[in-house]
Structure 1
Amino acid sequence: MQRSCLAIVLAAGESTRMRSSVSKVLHPIAGRPMIAHVMDSLAAAGVTDAVLVVGRDGAAVAKAAQRTDMRIETVEQTERLGTGHAVLAAADIIARGYDDLLVVFGDTPLVTPAPLKEALEAIAAGSDVATIGFESANPGGYGRLIVEGGELIAIREAKDASEAERAITFCNGGLMAVDGRKALDLLRRISNKNAKGEYYLTDLVELARAAGGRAVAVRATEEELGGCNTRAELAFLEQLWQARRRQALMLSGVSMVAPETVFLAFDTQIAPDVLIEPNVVFGPGVRIERDAVIHAFSHLEGAHVESGASVGPYARLRPGAHLAENAKVGNFCEIKQAEIGAGAKVSHLSYIGDAFVGAETNIGAGTITCNYDGVNKHVTRIGAHAFIGSNTALVAPVAVGDGALVASGSVITEDVAADAVAFGRARQEVKPGRAPILRARYQAMKAERQKK
């Protein structure tokens, strides 16, 4: 029979050291609130019930944490009296009865499902408490996990540790699983008789052992248990997340020329055999198919690039951009809410928005779809195998048919039929011999101004 588990997510931080006007767990990692990353790992560990212990911005935190595959409730922690007190804010929900209790922090976005599962497995195997710890080369002020004979004896705060205990490199990560049948009794035994007058969750280890129970420690990496209290730590977590994701993509078959300069979003999808050049930024909602090339200094968000397509350098794909197979969007082009057909080319210095461009069509340099009239957006439709000359303005709503040619420098305000040629520019007029006369006039005007 599958065991029931309640995850308690501590998310009541005040963001004091973040110097922030919003709860720290709402700050993004890879374009997504850090608490959402934590909820992902809980779901992957098999958790289906969770309670958020919130403080400021409780409604916003609950919204950021919501999932369709998990029942999530919210309780408020009105006082800050330690981690044990925070967990007890959910006492009424714990009292419903769960096999396992899993306590995590909302500001550890790099935690993976593996140590969470291992801690729960330890409870299922008969332990009362399973603490998640990590090895550190510089344990410094971390609490130490004292393990003897395979059991966790105590968690010793650094300031209270002996010289021998300070030499221990196995450190407390703060995350913990507890036997759900004993959790409330143990939690209510936690005392605040300490220097800070707070209720520490770490006391559960010795309380469980004093009652004849067993405590163990499981291992995670130091990286995945890193919390966030300052903007500097937020930037460091972002750096670690990016490095982890880049590594996973490269191992899956994606080529990155300078991976440290590529920035990914939480949901970026890149297929094998894609080449990504330096200094590329992916916002949310991007999917890149096989054999595509993303050239340097490009920015993509909400875009789909199909197999063999080419983007950039210095291109911007905004939400709704869709490049079909072997399409090209070149340097200094911006594409927004537009379909670029198979083999079509928008090679340079163009803006294509709210548009449909047919297969094998060529869009000349400096072409603009004039899609906005100051109030409403309008659509431009360009057929297959068409040619749009350089420096053309297509004033939407307008359509250009298959195989049509539009002359350079045109302003197109009416539909162009298939296979037609359209000129939308003033007729050129040449005045032989007039240039010297005009130069003399301009020089005289300049001399007159200089006298004044």
Structure 2
Amino acid sequence: MSSVPPTRAVILAAGNGDRFKNDGHHSKLLHPVAGQPLIVRTLQRAAAAGISSFCVVIGFEADRVRSLIESRQPPGVDVHFVHNPDWQLENGVSALAARDYCDGHRFALMMGDHLFPTSALRRVLTMDVPPGDSVLAVDSLPSDPSIAAEATRVRMQAGRITAIGKHVDPWDALDTGVFVFAPSLFEALDEARDHGETTLSAGVQRLAARGRMIGADVAGASWCDVDTMADLSAAESLLRSEPDPA
């Protein structure tokens, strides 16, 4: 079993967030949520859960995102940056850009535009699972049922994910965007790309088909995916329910 919690994490922060219509159309990761840039909150929460080394995959407005992180990164952590020149493509391409950083080790992976409770990440980091298995924090009781229309859905059987995707139906839980992966993710993403599929979910689906994808239920956890300006109010509500860790 895998008994040592991973201490490295990949943050996908390359996309342009084309649904996020702010003034100037800057990266949504730079946008303040309750006074703190979204990407900084992601890093802070991950560091509080035990992550000490980050690989941030950047692309759109790479210099601005990098400069902000370098000036505001949590104390005591290392932050590495990888540029994805194909950032216009789907997020599986950004995940593949972090392969060398992961160097055959287990690692956490999070979306730069998701807010999540530290407890959810800590849970998937500390789960004792077979070394070849990967884990996704899933939410079987979303506090706002309407988010199912936008979120990625998962189907479960006996604690393992059997299907994942935006249009999975029936579904049992929602993908919170908080993962711990075995190195086999990269092979799965390569296979997906060879078939013209470039989403992270396409790689996860291949792991699930092999029985290698565990779903850790964090039912009712306060998390959100910030896709639009309207999502900011949900993000600020989340922060009121679970303030950032000290």
Q: TM-score, normalised by structure 2?
A: 0.82
Identity %: 23
Partner AA of 1:37 in structure 2 = R
Determine helix, strand or coil for the equivalent of 2:149. coil
**Paired residue for 2:181, among 172, 178, 182?**
178
- Contact 1:223-1:240 within 8 A present in 2 as well: no
What's the CA shift for 1:243?
4.8
Hey, what does 1:155 align to over in structure 2? 164
Quick one: distance in 1 between partners of 2:118 and 2:234? 21
Identify if the C-alpha distance between structure 1 residues 223 and 206 changes in structure 2 by more than 3 Å, giving closer, same or farther: closer
Identify if the C-alpha distance between structure 1 residues 239 and 113 changes in structure 2 by more than 3 Å, giving closer, same or farther: closer
1:119 partnered with 2:124? yes
Determine helix, strand or coil for the equivalent of 2:114. coil
Identify if the C-alpha distance between structure 1 residues 141 and 56 changes in structure 2 by more than 3 Å, giving closer, same or farther: closer
Determine helix, strand or coil for the equivalent of 1:231. coil
- Contact 1:26-1:61 within 8 A present in 2 as well: yes
Cα deviations by residue, 1:199-218 (Å, 9 ceiling, x for unpaired):
1212334422555x521111
Determine helix, strand or coil for the equivalent of 1:73. strand
Hey, what does 1:61 align to over in structure 2? 65
Query: Structure 2: which 5+ residue stretches go unaligned?
Result: none
Determine helix, strand or coil for the equivalent of 1:147. strand
Partner AA of 1:34 in structure 2 = L
Partner AA of 1:8 in structure 2 = V
Partner AA of 1:178 in structure 2 = F
- Contact 2:13-2:59 within 8 A present in 1 as well: yes
What's the CA shift for 1:60?
2.8
Quick one: distance in 2 between partners of 1:210 and 1:243? 36
Determine helix, strand or coil for the equivalent of 1:217. strand
Q: What RMSD in Å do the two structures reach over aligned CA positions? A: 2.7
Cα deviations by residue, 1:365-413 (Å, 9 ceiling, x for unpaired):
xxxxxxxxxxxxxxxxxxxxxxxxxxxxxxxxxxxxxxxxxxxxxxxxx
1:216 partnered with 2:202? no
Hey, what does 2:109 align to over in structure 1? 103
Cα deviations by residue, 1:5-48 (Å, 9 ceiling, x for unpaired):
32111112314322233210111112111111111111111111
Quick one: distance in 2 between partners of 1:221 and 1:149? 16
Cα deviations by residue, 1:305-352 (Å, 9 ceiling, x for unpaired):
xxxxxxxxxxxxxxxxxxxxxxxxxxxxxxxxxxxxxxxxxxxxxxxx
Hey, what does 1:6 align to over in structure 2? 8
Quick one: distance in 2 between partners of 1:50 and 1:24? 19
Quick one: distance in 2 between partners of 1:144 and 1:156? 5
Quick one: distance in 1 between partners of 2:162 and 2:16? 32
Partner AA of 2:94 in structure 1 = A
Max Rg structure: 1
Cα deviations by residue, 1:401-428 (Å, 9 ceiling, x for unpaired):
xxxxxxxxxxxxxxxxxxxxxxxxxxxx
Cα deviations by residue, 1:288-316 (Å, 9 ceiling, x for unpaired):
xxxxxxxxxxxxxxxxxxxxxxxxxxxxx
- Contact 1:153-1:205 within 8 A present in 2 as well: no
Hey, what does 1:344 align to over in structure 2? none
Hey, what does 1:90 align to over in structure 2? 98
What's the CA shift for 1:54?
1.1
Determine helix, strand or coil for the equivalent of 2:54. strand
Aligned pairs, number: 234
Partner AA of 1:177 in structure 2 = V
1:190 partnered with 2:195? no
Query: Structure 1: which 5+ residue stretches go unaligned?
Result: 246-265, 270-452
1:39 partnered with 2:39? no
Instruction: Name whichever structure is richer in helix by fraction.
Output: 2
What's the CA shift for 1:173?
2.2
Quick one: distance in 1 between partners of 2:220 and 2:68? 25
Identify if the C-alpha distance between structure 1 residues 114 and 244 changes in structure 2 by more than 3 Å, giving closer, same or farther: closer
Q: Moved runs in structure 1, 4+ residues, more than 6 A?
A: none
